[in-house]
């Protein structure tokens, strides 16, 4: 169910992260190595990135497989950034809302992606959804479980919660309502990355220099990649990575 990656570090061409490595996100779209659910991520893709001096990210999203968009190679060759979030999608419901359902979702400085699925969607999450104001439910960018997760998370961020706390509380609410859900969430504002490992693979890489990558799986065989234990919150900057256990939902 999807592969995603976030990068913080010195400015690089998007392709250096997403296309060039031997097991980059581009290859993971048809040949993932660590994916536990699904085999091909061909239901769309997207990348969001930050330009120097502008806190609001740009996005490029398509409903087709990343390998089928020949123009993306040129874009990724010339666009440079010191922060990005990208994903390739294996849709829970094939074709639902097309490009609008492709990560990253965005609002203000934030980019967001979800790898996984909400068990029993949509009936199972009626209670968490009911906590959102009507105008926020009506503004969902797509009719998907990921879009609802984004709305719940964004509601907390706008209320002033720190990224890690917002992610933790969102995961706990959904896991309480739908215990078999897989909730690997990925969030960045261009200066920090926050992520959860909950039901699927998550890895991180630091260095050389002030550089941090958080991804569903390693894009190469560098021995500095570390797997994040399941039920864990990760919060990172360019220089530091902090791992904390996530609470289990009540029985």
CATH no. for residue 140? 3.60.20.10
pLDDT at residue 41 greater than cutoff 80? yes
pLDDT at residue 91 greater than cutoff 90? no
pLDDT at residue 187 greater than cutoff 90? yes
Predicted pLDDT of residue 191: 97
pLDDT level of residue 19 (50, 70, 90 thresholds)? very high
Dihedral in degrees, nearest 10, Cα atoms 15, 19, 20, 23: 150
Q: How many CB atoms lie within 10 A of CB 20?
A: 16
pLDDT level of residue 2 (50, 70, 90 thresholds)? very high
Q: Which of 39-53, 79-93, 187-201 is most confident?
A: 187-201
- The answer to whether residue 132 sits within a structural domain is yes
pLDDT at residue 251 greater than cutoff 90? no
Single out the residue of 207, 216, 210, 219 nearest to residue 234, CA to CA.
216
pLDDT at residue 173 greater than cutoff 90? yes
Q: What angle do CA 201, 207, 210 make, to 5 degrees?
A: 115
pLDDT at residue 94 greater than cutoff 80? no
pLDDT at residue 93 greater than cutoff 70? no
Interatomic CA distance for residues 6 and 83, integer angstroms:
7
pLDDT above 70 covers a percentage of the chain that reads 97
- The answer to whether residue 250 sits within a structural domain is no
Whole-model pTM: value is 0.96
| Mean pLDDT (the chain, rounded) | 95
pLDDT at residue 38 greater than cutoff 70? yes
Interatomic CA distance for residues 224 and 240, integer angstroms:
14
Position with higher pLDDT, 241 vs 209: 241
- The answer to whether residue 251 sits within a structural domain is no
pLDDT average, residue stretch 49-56 = 96
pLDDT average, residue stretch 59-81 = 96
Q: For residue 7, give both structure tokens.
A: 């990068």
Token pair 């959860």 is found at 196
- The answer to whether residue 99 sits within a structural domain is yes
Predicted pLDDT of residue 159: 97
Q: What domain count does the chain have?
A: 1
pLDDT at residue 167 greater than cutoff 90? yes
β-bridge pairing 45-49 and 3-13: unpaired
pLDDT at residue 1 greater than cutoff 70? no
- The answer to whether residue 72 sits within a structural domain is yes
Estimate to the nearest angstrom the gap between the alpha carbon of 33 and the chain centroid.
Answer: 18
- The answer to whether residue 67 sits within a structural domain is yes
Q: Which domain holds residue 91?
A: 3-245
Single out the residue of 57, 50, 146, 40 nearest to residue 103, CA to CA.
146
Catalytic residues: 2
- The answer to whether residue 166 sits within a structural domain is yes
Predicted pLDDT of residue 24: 97
pLDDT at residue 198 greater than cutoff 70? yes
- The answer to whether residue 73 sits within a structural domain is yes
pLDDT at residue 250 greater than cutoff 90? no
């Amino acid at each position: 169910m999807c592969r995603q990656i976030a990068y913080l570090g010195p400015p690089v061409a998007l392709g250096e992260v997403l296309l060039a490595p031997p097991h980059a996100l581009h290859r993971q779209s048809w040949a993932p190595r660590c994916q536990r659910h699904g085999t091909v991520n061909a239901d769309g893709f997207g990348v969001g990135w930050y330009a120097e001096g502008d806190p609001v990210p740009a996005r490029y999203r398509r409903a087709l497989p990343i390998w089928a968009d020949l123009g993306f190679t040129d874009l990724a060759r010339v666009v440079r950034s010191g922060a990005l979030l990208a994903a390739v999608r294996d849709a829970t419901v094939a074709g639902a809302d097309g490009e609008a359902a492709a990560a990253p979702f965005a609002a203000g400085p934030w980019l967001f992606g979800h790898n996984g699925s909400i068990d029993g969607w949509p009936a199972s999450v009626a209670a968490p959804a009911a906590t959102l104001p009507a105008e926020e439910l009506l503004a969902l960018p797509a009719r998907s479980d990921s879009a609802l997760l984004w709305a719940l998370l964004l509601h907390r961020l706008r209320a002033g919660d720190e990224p890690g706390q917002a992610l933790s509380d969102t995961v706990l609410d959904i896991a309480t309502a739908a215990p078999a859900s897989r909730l690997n969430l990925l969030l960045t504002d261009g200066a920090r990355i926050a992520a959860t490992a909950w039901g699927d693979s998550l890895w991180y890489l630091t260095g050389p220099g002030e550089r941090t990558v958080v991804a569903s799986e390693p894009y190469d065989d560098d021995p500095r990649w570390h797997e994040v234990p399941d039920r864990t919150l990760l919060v990172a900057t360019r220089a530091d990575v902090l791992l904390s256990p996530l609470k289990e939902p009540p029985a």
